[in-house]
Structure 1
Amino acid sequence: MAFDLQVFNKQTHLALTETVDQDIEKFNQASGGVITLQNAPTQGDFDIRASFKAIQGLVRRRNAYGSGTVQAKRLEQLLNVAVKVAAGTHPIEYEPQQYRWVLQNPELAAVEIGQQLAKARLADMLNTAILGAVAAIGGQTTAVLDDKKNAPNFRTLNKAAALFGDRSSALKAWIVHSTTLHTLYDNALTNAERLFTYDNVSVMRDPFGRLFVVTDSPALVDSTGAAYNTLGLQENAVMVSGNNDFNSEMQPKLGGENIAAVYQAEWTYNLGILGYEWDMTAGGKSPDDTKLGASANWRKTATSLKDTAGVLVKTK
């Protein structure tokens, strides 16, 4: 039974691509689009796009009988900067002879590796999105409701939504840790509609109409370990864009008891937060999780808090 490394690599990539595409589509639809996963390749280390800053006090009251001068307002452009994140796998060793020994096709392992890697890639993208959102929003005191001494309840979430004022209805979903959700259950959450489940991510809807996206992402646990972070996000709050640069290699490994093969892959994606830009100087290129999770590396560009990604709630 011949074993072709190139065929194995192609089958792994095919299984990976099909799984990722299906799950990304399901996640984007079910989560209300607050964290959007997409393919939008960019060149260079940053994705820099220009947008116009909202003009504050654009409409004025005039004196129909006056003759004085009026101070001008400027139409200004903003640079929205998303950062490119590099990711990859550890080398994965595999011995084709193990399958031949039991008269199975060694290429069956290709599908398994592809499916596992697809789930791991999606989980990494989601965890990075949440890490960046917690850091960016957490750097704005007006966007944070700090109630770490108390357990979460719907009054707490309502107070957090109130930080958006008359735009509170723009908040479409809560990104919560499972511990937070079960505490909310204990505080009389009795009507939840399960919409979508993907490995360690669940999406539900609460009685107020906002979605609960439930995942035990590391960034949803406070750095002290004694509190939890909850994100209230509006549509397109976080954008994670793949660059279509997935590259993988499979090579034989000799010198051991049995002939082995080694698989390794790498890829990149861009992370952007609505109303914030990546500090290209302070944060730098190809950041690690420590830099992505530092509030100082995310600068607010939107004039109004209501035009940013959302709010952050800290509870016990």
Structure 2
Amino acid sequence: MATTINNDLIIYNDLAQTAFLERRQDNLEVFNTASNGAILIDNELIEGDFRKRAFYKVGGTIESRDVNSTNKKQGKKIGAGETVSVKVPWAYGPYETTEEAFKRRGRDVSEFSEVVGIDVADATTEGYVKYAIHSLIAAIESNPSMITTADIATDGKKTLTKGLRKYGDKFERVSLFVMHSTTYFEIIDQAISNKIHEEAGVVVYGGQPGTLGKPVLVTDCVPVDAILGLVANAVKITESQAPGFRSYDVNDQENLVIAYRAEGTVNIDLLGYSWDTSKGDNPDLAKLSDKENWKKHFDSDKSTAGVLIKLEAPTLNRKAGKATKAEKDGEDGETKKDNGQE
């Protein structure tokens, strides 16, 4: 007598991986373009726990030259620095399903592999962005000269220009703003409110749109009290080992079960900042988010990844559902008007 078990069935490793690769390619093409080159996702085989690269530090300037002088000139040294990216491991799943669950819906079990293959592509892209954002915020927090504060309610579009000022004459290097959805809508609302002329429903804003004509990445993995202004190549996320995928059978349950899991590794490269190797390797999200684990290796702040705009209390109050003083004053005025006191 013979009994059919999961070993007799086809486990759709290839199907899951194909679904993953197709979805990942779509995600990368859209994301790398949409981020205006500030956040890049790539893949490259990298050995070891860290990637260390040396670079030259010169920073020279031209000087006046006396055409009538015979004085000797003193030689000057060039310096060297080191940039360090850190390897971050990740895992997905395992997810399990009985064959019965798909058969009862008139579906082939292969559909399970397609579903999880697509989902792991989306999950890793979202996770990589979260790693990038938390690392950027932590690294910039370690460099107070690239932090500024603002309040959207009172500063309006100056909230963003306060960040651009940190780059001085190089402000055009900032190619992308990154912010929480609540913050984004606060800025857009403010731009609409501060119109300079309106007649018959036609509004003239008298300048660039609310985000100064720069693209915005809106993601709720950014704290509501923070805005990032990033330059090109601010962060590079590299799949530094080939990701592993595995579909497998589970034979110790009453029903036949198929499971799926995945794992991989990425390196986080920040422009102008390095991981402090003395703080260990294989960090999790909490360690990536700790400013004590990052250090600046570029001399010029204008050459680093970006600026951090910290939002002050009024914006936080709105997030928490509390009215600001201006909003309260407005409400009080409306109440008085309704009561005939004005």
Per-residue CA deviations over 1:259-290 (Å, capped at 9, x if unaligned) read 212211100011010011111112x1100111
In the alignment, the residues of structure 2 paired with residue 208 and residue 149 of structure 1 have an alpha-carbon distance, to the nearest angstrom, of 14
Aligned to 2:183: 180
1:151–1:183 CA contact under 8 A, matched in 2: no
Aligned to 1:201: none
The answer to whether 1:240 aligns with 2:243 is: no
Q: CA deviation at 1:70?
A: 4.0
In the alignment, the residues of structure 1 paired with residue 240 and residue 191 of structure 2 have an alpha-carbon distance, to the nearest angstrom, of 44
Q: Which amino acid aligns with 1:266?
A: E
Alignment of 1:29-48 (within 5 A): 29-48=33-52
Aligned to 2:305: 309
2:141–2:147 CA contact under 8 A, matched in 1: yes
Q: CA deviation at 1:293?
A: 0.8
Aligned to 1:110: 113
2:277 aligned to 274, 277, 280, which one? 280
1:5–1:250 CA contact under 8 A, matched in 2: no
Alignment of 1:74-89 (within 5 A): 74-89=77-92
2:124 aligned to 117, 121, 126, which one? 121
2:188–2:210 CA contact under 8 A, matched in 1: no
Q: Which amino acid aligns with 1:242?
A: E
Per-residue CA deviations over 1:48-86 (Å, capped at 9, x if unaligned) read 122222x23432223334454544322222211111110
Q: CA deviation at 1:148?
A: 6.2
Aligned to 1:229: 226
1:152–1:180 CA contact under 8 A, matched in 2: no
Cα distance change on mapping 1:180 and 1:307 into 2, 3 Å: same
Cα distance change on mapping 1:48 and 1:6 into 2, 3 Å: farther
Q: Equivalent residue of 2:66, what SS?
A: coil
Cα distance change on mapping 1:61 and 1:267 into 2, 3 Å: same
In the alignment, the residues of structure 2 paired with residue 229 and residue 72 of structure 1 have an alpha-carbon distance, to the nearest angstrom, of 45
1:5–1:251 CA contact under 8 A, matched in 2: no
The answer to whether 1:251 aligns with 2:248 is: yes
TM-score norm. by structure 1 comes to: 0.86
Q: Percent identity?
A: 29
2:16–2:116 CA contact under 8 A, matched in 1: yes
Deviates more, 1:141-150 or 1:2-11: 2-11
The answer to whether 1:92 aligns with 2:95 is: yes
Q: Which amino acid aligns with 2:140?
A: I
Where structure 2 has 5 or more consecutive residues not aligned to the other structure, the ranges are: 194-208, 316-342
Cα distance change on mapping 1:186 and 1:12 into 2, 3 Å: same
The answer to whether 1:28 aligns with 2:32 is: yes
Q: Equivalent residue of 1:56, what SS?
A: coil
Q: Equivalent residue of 1:91, what SS?
A: strand
Aligned to 2:67: 64
Q: Which amino acid aligns with 1:100?
A: K
Deviates more, 1:150-159 or 1:269-278: 150-159
Q: CA deviation at 1:89?
A: 1.2
Cα distance change on mapping 1:156 and 1:70 into 2, 3 Å: farther
Deviates more, 1:137-146 or 1:5-14: 5-14
Q: CA deviation at 1:252?
A: 1.6
Aligned to 2:141: 138
In the alignment, the residues of structure 2 paired with residue 2 and residue 257 of structure 1 have an alpha-carbon distance, to the nearest angstrom, of 12
Q: Which amino acid aligns with 1:313?
A: I
2:20–2:117 CA contact under 8 A, matched in 1: yes
Cα distance change on mapping 1:87 and 1:151 into 2, 3 Å: farther
Q: Which amino acid aligns with 2:236?
A: M
Q: Which amino acid aligns with 1:257?
A: E
Q: CA deviation at 1:139?
A: 1.2
Q: Which amino acid aligns with 1:310?
A: G
Aligned to 2:259: 262
Q: Equivalent residue of 1:131, what SS?
A: helix
Where structure 1 has 5 or more consecutive residues not aligned to the other structure, the ranges are: 191-204, 222-226
1:6–1:250 CA contact under 8 A, matched in 2: no
Cα distance change on mapping 1:37 and 1:105 into 2, 3 Å: same
In the alignment, the residues of structure 2 paired with residue 61 and residue 114 of structure 1 have an alpha-carbon distance, to the nearest angstrom, of 64
Q: Which amino acid aligns with 1:293?
A: S
Cα distance change on mapping 1:108 and 1:307 into 2, 3 Å: same
TM-score norm. by structure 2 comes to: 0.80
